[in-house]
Structure 1
Amino acid sequence: MCLPQPIQEKKSGEFPTYDEVVEFHGHSCGGLASGFRVAVAAMKALGVERPKDEELVTIAETNACGVDAIQFITGCTAGKGNLIIHDYGKHAFTFYCRKSNKAVRVVTCLDGFMPEEMHALRPKVFSGQATEEEKARYQELAHQGVHAILAAPEEKILKITYVDIKPPQKAIMYQSIPCECCGEMVADGKTRELDGKRVCMPCYLSATNQ
Protein backbone atom coordinates (compact mmCIF):
# COMPACT_ATOMS: atom_id res chain seq x y z
CA MET A 1 0.00 0.00 0.00
CA CYS A 2 1.44 3.35 -1.04
CA LEU A 3 0.94 6.17 1.42
CA PRO A 4 0.70 9.76 0.15
CA GLN A 5 3.89 11.72 0.45
CA PRO A 6 3.79 14.69 2.84
CA ILE A 7 3.57 18.10 1.22
CA GLN A 8 6.88 19.91 1.45
CA GLU A 9 6.41 23.20 3.27
CA LYS A 10 7.86 26.26 1.57
CA LYS A 11 10.49 28.37 3.30
CA SER A 12 9.45 31.77 4.61
CA GLY A 13 8.87 34.13 1.69
CA GLU A 14 9.01 31.31 -0.86
CA PHE A 15 6.03 30.71 -3.15
CA PRO A 16 4.97 27.68 -5.18
CA THR A 17 6.15 27.65 -8.79
CA TYR A 18 3.83 28.16 -11.73
CA ASP A 19 4.46 24.55 -12.76
CA GLU A 20 3.14 23.39 -9.38
CA VAL A 21 0.03 25.50 -9.87
CA VAL A 22 -0.50 24.00 -13.33
CA GLU A 23 -0.23 20.49 -11.89
CA PHE A 24 -2.90 21.36 -9.31
CA HIS A 25 -5.24 23.01 -11.82
CA GLY A 26 -4.76 20.59 -14.70
CA HIS A 27 -3.69 22.88 -17.52
CA SER A 28 -1.89 26.14 -18.24
CA CYS A 29 -3.77 29.19 -19.52
CA GLY A 30 -3.78 32.96 -19.35
CA GLY A 31 -6.32 33.00 -16.54
CA LEU A 32 -4.22 30.70 -14.38
CA ALA A 33 -1.07 32.70 -15.09
CA SER A 34 -2.77 35.96 -14.13
CA GLY A 35 -4.13 34.38 -10.94
CA PHE A 36 -0.60 33.25 -10.11
CA ARG A 37 0.72 36.81 -10.47
CA VAL A 38 -2.21 38.23 -8.47
CA ALA A 39 -1.71 35.84 -5.55
CA VAL A 40 2.03 36.41 -5.24
CA ALA A 41 1.66 40.19 -5.55
CA ALA A 42 -1.09 40.32 -2.91
CA MET A 43 0.83 38.26 -0.37
CA LYS A 44 3.92 40.40 -0.88
CA ALA A 45 1.89 43.60 -0.55
CA LEU A 46 0.36 42.43 2.73
CA GLY A 47 3.57 40.84 4.00
CA VAL A 48 1.85 37.55 4.80
CA GLU A 49 2.63 33.86 4.45
CA ARG A 50 0.32 30.99 3.52
CA PRO A 51 -2.14 30.64 6.43
CA LYS A 52 -3.00 27.43 8.22
CA ASP A 53 -6.49 28.66 9.02
CA GLU A 54 -8.48 31.85 8.26
CA GLU A 55 -5.77 34.44 8.91
CA LEU A 56 -6.00 35.55 5.28
CA VAL A 57 -9.24 35.92 3.33
CA THR A 58 -9.72 36.24 -0.42
CA ILE A 59 -12.80 37.77 -2.03
CA ALA A 60 -12.80 36.85 -5.71
CA GLU A 61 -15.02 38.58 -8.27
CA THR A 62 -14.81 35.68 -10.73
CA ASN A 63 -14.98 31.89 -10.59
CA ALA A 64 -12.55 31.41 -13.48
CA CYS A 65 -9.22 29.55 -13.67
CA GLY A 66 -7.24 32.17 -11.77
CA VAL A 67 -9.09 31.27 -8.57
CA ASP A 68 -7.32 27.91 -8.48
CA ALA A 69 -3.93 29.63 -8.53
CA ILE A 70 -5.05 31.84 -5.67
CA GLN A 71 -6.26 28.85 -3.64
CA PHE A 72 -3.00 26.97 -4.17
CA ILE A 73 -0.69 29.86 -3.36
CA THR A 74 -2.55 31.78 -0.65
CA GLY A 75 -4.19 28.87 1.17
CA CYS A 76 -7.57 30.61 0.92
CA THR A 77 -9.99 27.81 0.11
CA ALA A 78 -13.70 27.14 0.08
CA GLY A 79 -13.24 24.33 2.60
CA LYS A 80 -11.66 26.63 5.19
CA GLY A 81 -14.23 29.32 4.55
CA ASN A 82 -11.66 31.98 3.70
CA LEU A 83 -12.38 32.03 -0.03
CA ILE A 84 -15.46 34.07 -0.88
CA ILE A 85 -16.61 34.14 -4.51
CA HIS A 86 -18.89 36.82 -5.93
CA ASP A 87 -19.01 35.94 -9.61
CA TYR A 88 -19.23 39.39 -11.18
CA GLY A 89 -17.15 38.23 -14.16
CA LYS A 90 -14.31 40.59 -13.17
CA HIS A 91 -10.72 39.53 -12.69
CA ALA A 92 -10.51 41.46 -9.44
CA PHE A 93 -9.54 40.08 -6.05
CA THR A 94 -9.49 41.54 -2.55
CA PHE A 95 -7.23 40.04 0.11
CA TYR A 96 -7.77 40.77 3.80
CA CYS A 97 -5.30 39.99 6.60
CA ARG A 98 -7.05 39.54 9.95
CA LYS A 99 -3.85 40.04 11.94
CA SER A 100 -2.98 43.47 10.54
CA ASN A 101 -6.54 44.48 9.56
CA LYS A 102 -5.15 45.49 6.16
CA ALA A 103 -6.62 44.72 2.76
CA VAL A 104 -5.45 45.02 -0.81
CA ARG A 105 -7.45 44.85 -4.03
CA VAL A 106 -5.71 43.52 -7.12
CA VAL A 107 -7.17 43.96 -10.60
CA THR A 108 -5.61 42.42 -13.70
CA CYS A 109 -4.86 44.57 -16.75
CA LEU A 110 -4.15 42.10 -19.54
CA ASP A 111 -5.01 44.11 -22.66
CA GLY A 112 -2.51 43.19 -25.33
CA PHE A 113 -0.96 40.27 -23.48
CA MET A 114 -3.01 37.53 -25.13
CA PRO A 115 -2.46 37.52 -28.94
CA GLU A 116 -5.37 38.96 -30.95
CA GLU A 117 -5.31 35.93 -33.24
CA MET A 118 -6.47 33.85 -30.26
CA HIS A 119 -9.76 35.74 -30.05
CA ALA A 120 -10.59 34.83 -33.65
CA LEU A 121 -9.72 31.17 -33.12
CA ARG A 122 -11.39 30.75 -29.73
CA PRO A 123 -15.00 30.28 -30.98
CA LYS A 124 -13.91 27.59 -33.45
CA VAL A 125 -11.72 25.77 -30.90
CA PHE A 126 -14.31 25.69 -28.13
CA SER A 127 -17.18 24.78 -30.46
CA GLY A 128 -15.24 21.80 -31.79
CA GLN A 129 -15.15 23.19 -35.34
CA ALA A 130 -11.42 23.99 -35.48
CA THR A 131 -9.04 21.95 -37.61
CA GLU A 132 -6.08 20.19 -36.03
CA GLU A 133 -3.85 22.90 -37.45
CA GLU A 134 -6.02 25.63 -35.90
CA LYS A 135 -6.04 23.84 -32.54
CA ALA A 136 -2.25 23.62 -32.59
CA ARG A 137 -1.98 27.29 -33.51
CA TYR A 138 -4.36 28.24 -30.68
CA GLN A 139 -2.24 26.32 -28.16
CA GLU A 140 0.91 27.96 -29.49
CA LEU A 141 -0.62 31.42 -29.08
CA ALA A 142 -1.93 30.55 -25.62
CA HIS A 143 1.58 29.48 -24.57
CA GLN A 144 2.95 32.79 -25.84
CA GLY A 145 0.32 34.68 -23.84
CA VAL A 146 1.09 32.77 -20.65
CA HIS A 147 4.80 33.45 -21.06
CA ALA A 148 4.12 37.15 -21.59
CA ILE A 149 1.96 37.35 -18.43
CA LEU A 150 4.52 35.54 -16.28
CA ALA A 151 7.41 37.66 -17.58
CA ALA A 152 5.71 41.07 -17.50
CA PRO A 153 6.63 43.72 -14.93
CA GLU A 154 4.05 43.73 -12.14
CA GLU A 155 2.95 47.30 -12.80
CA LYS A 156 2.14 46.43 -16.42
CA ILE A 157 -0.42 43.73 -15.62
CA LEU A 158 -1.72 44.47 -12.13
CA LYS A 159 -3.40 47.40 -10.43
CA ILE A 160 -2.80 47.09 -6.69
CA THR A 161 -4.72 49.30 -4.26
CA TYR A 162 -4.87 49.25 -0.47
CA VAL A 163 -8.51 49.41 0.60
CA ASP A 164 -10.56 49.62 3.80
CA ILE A 165 -13.12 46.85 4.14
CA LYS A 166 -15.25 45.41 6.90
CA PRO A 167 -13.63 42.23 8.26
CA PRO A 168 -15.27 39.25 6.49
CA GLN A 169 -17.34 36.95 8.67
CA LYS A 170 -15.49 33.89 9.89
CA ALA A 171 -16.62 30.45 8.77
CA ILE A 172 -19.68 29.22 10.67
CA MET A 173 -19.44 25.85 12.39
CA TYR A 174 -22.69 23.90 12.10
CA GLN A 175 -23.94 20.83 13.90
CA SER A 176 -24.92 17.91 11.68
CA ILE A 177 -28.40 16.46 12.13
CA PRO A 178 -30.36 13.84 10.17
CA CYS A 179 -32.80 15.14 7.57
CA GLU A 180 -36.24 14.04 8.71
CA CYS A 181 -37.13 13.12 5.13
CA CYS A 182 -34.19 11.25 3.56
CA GLY A 183 -32.24 10.54 6.72
CA GLU A 184 -28.94 11.88 5.40
CA MET A 185 -26.86 14.10 7.70
CA VAL A 186 -27.09 17.83 6.99
CA ALA A 187 -25.77 21.01 8.62
CA ASP A 188 -28.52 22.27 10.93
CA GLY A 189 -28.18 25.82 9.63
CA LYS A 190 -28.82 24.66 6.08
CA THR A 191 -32.15 22.93 6.71
CA ARG A 192 -35.68 24.10 5.93
CA GLU A 193 -38.93 23.45 7.75
CA LEU A 194 -41.47 21.30 5.92
CA ASP A 195 -44.68 20.14 7.59
CA GLY A 196 -43.09 20.61 10.98
CA LYS A 197 -39.94 18.65 10.07
CA ARG A 198 -36.35 19.80 9.55
CA VAL A 199 -35.33 18.68 6.08
CA CYS A 200 -32.36 19.20 3.76
CA MET A 201 -32.60 21.55 0.81
CA PRO A 202 -32.87 18.83 -1.88
CA CYS A 203 -35.81 17.25 -0.04
CA TYR A 204 -37.41 20.66 0.50
CA LEU A 205 -37.06 21.66 -3.14
CA SER A 206 -38.36 18.29 -4.34
CA ALA A 207 -41.40 18.43 -2.06
CA THR A 208 -42.24 22.01 -3.04
CA ASN A 209 -41.56 21.45 -6.78
CA GLN A 210 -38.97 24.20 -6.92
Structure 2
Amino acid sequence: MLDREDLYKKCVEFHGHSCGGLLVGFRAALCAMERFGLDGRAQDEELVCVAENDACGVDAIQALLGCTAGKGNLIFRLRGKQAFTFYERKSGESFRISLKNLEFADRESKRAFMESAASEEIFDSGEAPFPLPGEARIYSSQSCAACGERTAEPWLRVKDGRLLCLDCLEKESR
Protein backbone atom coordinates (compact mmCIF):
# COMPACT_ATOMS: atom_id res chain seq x y z
CA MET A 1 0.00 0.00 0.00
CA LEU A 2 1.39 3.36 -1.01
CA ASP A 3 1.59 6.02 1.70
CA ARG A 4 0.18 9.13 0.00
CA GLU A 5 1.61 11.51 2.57
CA ASP A 6 5.16 10.19 2.07
CA LEU A 7 4.75 10.25 -1.70
CA TYR A 8 3.55 13.85 -1.65
CA LYS A 9 6.49 14.83 0.58
CA LYS A 10 8.79 13.32 -2.06
CA CYS A 11 7.14 15.55 -4.69
CA VAL A 12 7.49 18.64 -2.51
CA GLU A 13 11.18 17.88 -1.91
CA PHE A 14 11.76 17.56 -5.64
CA HIS A 15 9.72 20.64 -6.60
CA GLY A 16 10.79 22.89 -3.72
CA HIS A 17 7.38 23.80 -2.30
CA SER A 18 3.79 22.64 -2.07
CA CYS A 19 1.27 24.23 -4.43
CA GLY A 20 -1.98 23.50 -6.26
CA GLY A 21 -0.22 22.65 -9.51
CA LEU A 22 2.04 20.13 -7.83
CA LEU A 23 -1.02 18.53 -6.26
CA VAL A 24 -2.59 18.09 -9.73
CA GLY A 25 0.54 16.31 -10.97
CA PHE A 26 0.70 14.26 -7.78
CA ARG A 27 -2.84 13.03 -8.32
CA ALA A 28 -2.10 12.33 -12.00
CA ALA A 29 0.94 10.28 -11.00
CA LEU A 30 -1.14 8.37 -8.42
CA CYS A 31 -3.74 7.71 -11.10
CA ALA A 32 -1.07 6.17 -13.35
CA MET A 33 0.33 4.14 -10.45
CA GLU A 34 -3.14 2.80 -9.67
CA ARG A 35 -4.05 2.02 -13.30
CA PHE A 36 -0.75 0.27 -14.04
CA GLY A 37 -0.34 -1.36 -10.61
CA LEU A 38 2.97 0.41 -9.97
CA ASP A 39 4.66 0.75 -6.63
CA GLY A 40 7.67 2.81 -7.66
CA ARG A 41 9.55 4.78 -10.28
CA ALA A 42 10.37 3.63 -13.79
CA GLN A 43 14.02 2.68 -13.98
CA ASP A 44 14.26 3.19 -17.70
CA GLU A 45 11.67 3.87 -20.40
CA GLU A 46 9.10 1.24 -19.43
CA LEU A 47 6.65 3.99 -18.49
CA VAL A 48 6.06 7.03 -20.72
CA CYS A 49 4.23 10.27 -19.95
CA VAL A 50 3.21 12.82 -22.54
CA ALA A 51 2.51 16.05 -20.66
CA GLU A 52 0.41 18.74 -22.31
CA ASN A 53 1.86 21.43 -20.05
CA ASP A 54 5.19 22.36 -18.51
CA ALA A 55 3.80 23.51 -15.16
CA CYS A 56 4.44 22.47 -11.56
CA GLY A 57 2.58 19.17 -11.80
CA VAL A 58 5.16 17.74 -14.19
CA ASP A 59 7.65 17.69 -11.31
CA ALA A 60 5.40 15.24 -9.44
CA ILE A 61 5.38 13.00 -12.53
CA GLN A 62 9.18 13.04 -12.54
CA ALA A 63 9.53 12.49 -8.80
CA LEU A 64 7.07 9.61 -8.49
CA LEU A 65 7.04 7.90 -11.87
CA GLY A 66 10.62 8.35 -13.03
CA CYS A 67 9.48 9.86 -16.31
CA THR A 68 12.13 12.44 -17.20
CA ALA A 69 13.06 14.46 -20.25
CA GLY A 70 16.63 13.21 -19.98
CA LYS A 71 15.59 9.56 -20.24
CA GLY A 72 13.20 10.38 -23.04
CA ASN A 73 10.14 8.99 -21.30
CA LEU A 74 8.72 12.41 -20.44
CA ILE A 75 7.58 14.08 -23.61
CA PHE A 76 6.18 17.58 -23.76
CA ARG A 77 3.30 18.19 -26.15
CA LEU A 78 2.56 21.71 -25.01
CA ARG A 79 -1.10 22.60 -25.27
CA GLY A 80 -1.57 24.51 -22.01
CA LYS A 81 -3.85 21.81 -20.61
CA GLN A 82 -3.68 19.96 -17.32
CA ALA A 83 -3.65 16.69 -19.24
CA PHE A 84 -1.33 13.69 -19.28
CA THR A 85 -1.18 10.58 -21.44
CA PHE A 86 0.49 7.56 -19.89
CA TYR A 87 1.82 4.45 -21.60
CA GLU A 88 3.18 1.24 -20.13
CA ARG A 89 5.42 -0.42 -22.69
CA LYS A 90 5.28 -3.96 -21.26
CA SER A 91 1.50 -4.31 -21.19
CA GLY A 92 0.78 -1.93 -24.07
CA GLU A 93 -1.84 -0.23 -21.89
CA SER A 94 -2.34 3.51 -22.21
CA PHE A 95 -4.78 6.25 -21.21
CA ARG A 96 -5.16 10.02 -21.15
CA ILE A 97 -6.47 12.04 -18.24
CA SER A 98 -7.41 15.71 -18.09
CA LEU A 99 -8.33 17.79 -15.10
CA LYS A 100 -12.07 18.28 -14.80
CA ASN A 101 -13.48 21.80 -14.80
CA LEU A 102 -14.54 22.01 -11.17
CA GLU A 103 -15.52 25.05 -9.13
CA PHE A 104 -14.58 25.55 -5.48
CA ALA A 105 -15.45 28.20 -2.93
CA ASP A 106 -11.80 28.71 -1.95
CA ARG A 107 -8.30 27.21 -2.10
CA GLU A 108 -8.76 25.22 1.08
CA SER A 109 -11.82 23.39 -0.21
CA LYS A 110 -10.10 22.73 -3.53
CA ARG A 111 -7.02 21.35 -1.76
CA ALA A 112 -9.13 19.14 0.49
CA PHE A 113 -10.98 17.78 -2.53
CA MET A 114 -7.76 17.14 -4.47
CA GLU A 115 -6.26 15.32 -1.51
CA SER A 116 -9.21 13.04 -0.83
CA ALA A 117 -11.33 12.57 -3.97
CA ALA A 118 -11.14 9.51 -6.15
CA SER A 119 -9.20 9.91 -9.40
CA GLU A 120 -12.46 9.61 -11.37
CA GLU A 121 -13.81 12.69 -9.60
CA ILE A 122 -10.69 14.74 -10.41
CA PHE A 123 -9.90 13.68 -13.97
CA ASP A 124 -11.76 12.85 -17.14
CA SER A 125 -10.22 9.72 -18.58
CA GLY A 126 -10.10 8.36 -22.08
CA GLU A 127 -8.04 6.57 -24.67
CA ALA A 128 -4.57 7.74 -25.61
CA PRO A 129 -5.02 10.08 -28.61
CA PHE A 130 -1.83 8.93 -30.35
CA PRO A 131 0.29 5.77 -30.46
CA LEU A 132 3.03 4.98 -27.99
CA PRO A 133 6.08 7.13 -28.78
CA GLY A 134 9.21 5.26 -29.76
CA GLU A 135 12.07 4.83 -27.36
CA ALA A 136 14.51 7.70 -27.01
CA ARG A 137 17.11 7.92 -29.74
CA ILE A 138 20.70 8.91 -29.28
CA TYR A 139 22.00 11.00 -32.15
CA SER A 140 25.49 11.80 -33.31
CA SER A 141 26.64 15.37 -32.90
CA GLN A 142 28.46 17.60 -35.33
CA SER A 143 30.16 20.95 -34.84
CA CYS A 144 28.27 24.02 -35.98
CA ALA A 145 30.21 25.71 -38.77
CA ALA A 146 29.61 29.15 -37.22
CA CYS A 147 29.94 28.82 -33.43
CA GLY A 148 31.76 25.49 -33.26
CA GLU A 149 29.46 24.04 -30.59
CA ARG A 150 28.61 20.38 -30.96
CA THR A 151 24.95 19.93 -31.81
CA ALA A 152 22.83 16.79 -32.18
CA GLU A 153 22.29 16.11 -35.88
CA PRO A 154 18.48 16.58 -35.93
CA TRP A 155 18.97 20.14 -34.68
CA LEU A 156 21.44 21.14 -37.38
CA ARG A 157 20.41 22.79 -40.63
CA VAL A 158 22.26 23.11 -43.92
CA LYS A 159 22.69 26.64 -45.25
CA ASP A 160 24.99 27.38 -48.15
CA GLY A 161 26.53 23.93 -47.71
CA ARG A 162 27.40 24.51 -44.04
CA LEU A 163 25.92 22.79 -40.99
CA LEU A 164 24.52 25.40 -38.59
CA CYS A 165 22.89 25.08 -35.19
CA LEU A 166 19.48 26.72 -34.91
CA ASP A 167 20.86 29.76 -33.06
CA CYS A 168 23.46 30.48 -35.73
CA LEU A 169 20.96 29.80 -38.51
CA GLU A 170 18.65 32.36 -36.92
CA LYS A 171 21.45 34.94 -36.65
CA GLU A 172 22.46 34.44 -40.27
CA SER A 173 18.85 34.63 -41.48
CA ARG A 174 18.22 38.09 -40.03
Whether 1:26 aligns to 2:5 is no
Establish whether residue 158 from structure 1 lines up as the match of residue 123 from structure 2.
yes
> Contact between 1:32 and 1:68, CA under 8 Å: does it hold in 2?
yes
Write out per-residue CA displacement over residues 72-93 of structure 1, whole angstroms, 9 at most, x where no aligned residue.
1111111111111122222111
Are the structure 2 counterparts of residues 110 and 152 from structure 1 closer, same or farther at C-alpha, using a change threshold of 3 Å? farther
Match of 1:61 in 2: 52
Structure 1 contact 103–165 (Cα < 8 Å) conserved: no
Deviates more, 1:43-52 or 1:97-106: 43-52
Deviation readout 1:28-56 (Å, 9 max, x if unpaired): 21111011011111122022342111111
SS in 2 for 1:17: helix
After superposition, the Cα gap between the structure-2 partners of 1:169 and 1:92, relative to the gap in structure 1 and judged at 3 Å, is same
Structure 1 unmatched runs, 5+: 1-11, 116-140
Structure with higher Rg: it is: 1
The CA distance in 2 between the partners of 1:171 and 1:67, in whole Å, is 19
- Alpha carbons of structure 1 residues 164 and 190: separation in structure 2 relative to 1, 3 Å: closer
CA distance in 2, matches of 1:72, 1:45: 18
Q: What is residue 99 of structure 2 aligned with on the other side?
A: 108
Partner SS for 2:90 = coil
Q: Is contact 1:94-1:103 (8 Å) kept?
A: yes
Q: Distance in 2 between matches of 1:17 and 1:195?
A: 53
Task: Using structure 1 for the length normalisation, give the TM-score.
Answer: 0.73
Match of 2:43 among 28, 32, 52: 52
Q: Does 1:179 align with 2:144?
A: yes
Q: TM-score, normalised by structure 2?
A: 0.86
Structure 2 gaps of 5+ residues are: none
Match of 2:171 in 1: 206
Distance in 1 of aligned mates of 2:82 and 2:117: 17
Q: Is the 8 A contact 2:114 2:122 kept in 1?
A: yes
Identity of aligned residues (%): 43
